[in-house]
């Protein structure tokens, strides 16, 4: 495979898995050797085993962190603070992109930023959808209500009034209270039901203060 062939195959996909290039004409061993050569010459950057990004000045667009997160870890979706910030529900800048996966938890430091995967029970792996995160780039992201519940579920003491208040939730009118309750009921954890009651109270207080 030639370099121009690689660019033609990828098009405007700056970050990719090696499996995307696997064809009947190219063996896995040959592909691995070629990719390693491009890494050594600075044309590609290896983010983890089997995942690469086209290096500057060759890539046409900058990959969004959420797209990178989805590619780094298959069967995952962006959630917790990363999703809440994307939906405009928390004011803080979130430097680490956090995803939920049914696999093992993991932390990765890459040339494109830092990424964290948090393990979630397979039965609770829902409440996300694919959204456009940048022109021409789409990623799987938790809906706002599920991101909030994921955060509560995976955080010790996440169902306390003090913790939930410290999130300083904003733009709360975008939170669907009924959807939040249905998601918590579907998971069926007392911790989440307790948190939903507190969140409802916080939403009511916010509504009264803004009236």
Q: How confident is the model at residue 20 (pLDDT cuts 50, 70, 90)?
A: confident
pLDDT at 25 over 90: no
pLDDT at 211 over 70: no
Backbone angles phi, psi at 155, to 5 degrees: -110, 120
- Claim: this prediction has a pTM higher than 0.85: yes
pLDDT at 207 over 80: no
CA–CA gap between residue 179 and residue 184 (Å, rounded): 9
- Tell me, what's the pLDDT at 24? 58
- Tell me, what's the pLDDT at 93? 86
Q: For 114-148, write each residue's pLDDT tens digit.
A: 999 999 999 999 999 999 999 999 999 999 999 99
Sign of CA dihedral 141, 145, 146, 150: positive
> How large a percentage of the chain has pLDDT more than 90?
80
């Amino acid at each position: 495979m030639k370099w121009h062939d690689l660019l033609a195959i990828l098009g405007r996909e700056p970050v990719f898995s090696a499996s995307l290039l696997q064809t009947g004409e190219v063996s896995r061993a040959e592909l691995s050797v070629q990719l390693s050569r491009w890494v050594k010459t600075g044309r590609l950057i290896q983010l983890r085993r089997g995942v690469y990004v086209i290096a500057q000045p060759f890539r046409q667009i900058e990959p969004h962190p959420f797209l990178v997160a989805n590619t780094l870890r298959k069967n995952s979706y962006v959630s917790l603070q990363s999703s809440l910030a994307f939906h405009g529900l928390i004011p803080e800048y979130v430097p680490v992109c956090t995803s939920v996966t049914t696999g093992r938890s993991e932390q990765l430091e890459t040339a494109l930023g830092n990424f964290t995967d948090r393990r979630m029970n397979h039965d609770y792996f829902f409440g996300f959808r694919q959204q456009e995160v940048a022109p021409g780039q789409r990623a799987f992201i938790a809906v706002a209500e599920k991101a909030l519940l994921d955060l509560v579920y995976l955080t010790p003491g996440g169902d306390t009034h003090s913790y939930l208040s410290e999130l300083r939730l904003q733009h709360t009118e975008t939170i669907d209270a009924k959807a939040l309750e249905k998601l918590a009921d579907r998971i069926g954890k007392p911790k989440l039901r307790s948190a939903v009651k507190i969140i409802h109270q916080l939403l009511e207080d916010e509504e009264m203060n803004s009236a």
